[in-house]
Amino acid sequence: EHLIAHTSSRQNRSALPLCPEQPPHLVGKMNIKPTITLQEVTNEESLRNLSYGGRYAPPYCQAREKTAIIIPYRDRKEHIDILVRHLHTVLQRQQLEYGIYVVEMALPTQFNRGLLANAGVRTARGISSYTCYIIHDVDSLMTDDRNLYRCGSQPIHFMTGSTKYKYNGIPYPGFHGGIVGFTPEQYKTVNGFSNLYFGWGSEDDDLGIRVQKSGMIFVRPKEEIGMYVALPHVRDVSNQENPNSYGLVRNVSARQMQDGVETIRFKRFALEYQQLYTWLLIGVKEDV
């Protein structure tokens, strides 16, 4: 019965007109502050539109993109609660079809942002045929809804500045941290993130090198559109700076094809379709 209902709603959707290239109800610059509260960010109507696992499709038109938002996560409950509400409001205005995946690292393993991104992509692509994967930090809120969460002919780095960097652009020209977007083909070509970066640092630099070695370039939106507000947080105990990461960055090409999304070994301890997002609990596979 479930399946029949699902199929018929999909059939109906393909009869809908394509959503306009420019979403008509965007507001542009939003007034978002690092001190934003749960109450301020909540838009009840956007939450009522969701189906299980935090998924959405525009009711009156066929979306131009089907985006999986993948959020590497641990122990930032206040952030995730705010970020997902903000995303539901903005992504519905952008007329996207989307699903939100919160990918949590199980204790006691050190945090590994790249491995979680890859595990999120592997899971999302098994659930639905997404046309765009966006890997998203939990503490960063977009401040302009013209920053469309769609993919393009090249991988996208959506961030041009953040309150984290005093709004002063990005910290260095080759920076690709925070939020990046890939089509499934692009993600497969670069073989996703490395799975080897435990602790804080450099997995994003490794990704930048992968993109370059694969003959692609990261593109960014216009500077004023790609500004983010960072929610404040203290340094995490289980995400210590990784002293080996700089060494790893030096030999990306030697291992790019053996270390990534296609070769990842992980354990999925949980997969839950919650109201506002799909939650995954991920561990490393010991018996490699």
Q: What is d(CA 116, CA 135) in angstroms, rounded to the nearest whole number?
A: 10
Residues 10-69 touching ligand UDH, rule: CB under 6 A, are none
Number of residues that bind ligand UDH (CB under 6 A): 17
* CA nearest neighbour of 175 among 162, 189, 187: 162
User: Please, is 238 exposed, middle or buried when counting C-beta atoms within 10 Å of its C-beta (0-12, 13-18, 19+)?
Assistant: middle
Maximum alpha-carbon separation in the chain: 54
Task: Please report how close the Cβ of residue 140 comes to ligand UDH at its closest, in angstroms.
Answer: 7
Q: Are 260 and 194 in contact (CB under 8 A)?
A: yes
By the rule CB under 6 A, 204 interacts with ligand UDH? no
Q: Which is nearer to ligand UDH, 73 or 130 (CB)?
A: 73
Q: Is 139 in the site for ligand UDH (CB under 6 A)?
A: yes
- Shortest distance (Å) from residue 66 CB to ligand UDH: 22
Q: Are 125 and 184 in contact (CB under 8 A)?
A: yes
113 touches ligand UDH by CB under 6 A: yes
Residue 67, classed as helix, strand or coil, is strand
The contacts of residue 114 (CB under 8 Å, 6+ apart) are 192, 193, 194, 195, 196, 197, 203, 206, 207
Q: Does 107 contact ligand UDH by CB under 6 A?
A: no
As measured in angstroms, the least distance from the Cβ of 116 to ligand UDH is 8
Site membership for ligand UDH, residue 197 (CB under 6 A): no
13, 40, 47, 75: which one contacts ligand UDH (CB under 6 A)? 75
> Binding to ligand UDH by residue 236, rule CB under 6 A?
yes
Q: Shortest gap between Cβ of 225 and ligand UDH (angstroms)?
A: 20
CB-based contacts of 246, cutoff 8 Å, min separation 6: 202
235 lies in the binding site for ligand UDH (CB under 6 A): yes
73 contributes a contact to ligand UDH by CB under 6 A = yes
Q: Is 254 in contact with 196 (CB distance < 8 Å)?
A: no
- Residue 67 or 245: the one with the smaller Cβ distance to ligand UDH is 245
- Classify 248 as helix, strand or coil: helix
Residue 78 is a binding residue for ligand UDH (CB under 6 A)? no
Q: Which is nearer to ligand UDH, 51 or 274 (CB)?
A: 274
Q: Which of 137, 145, 205, 259 binds ligand UDH (CB under 6 A)?
A: 137
Please state the φ and ψ torsions of residue 185, each to the nearest 5 degrees.
Answer: -65, -45
| Residue numbers at the binding site for ligand UDH (CB under 6 A) | 71-76, 111, 113, 137-139, 200, 235-236, 238-239, 241
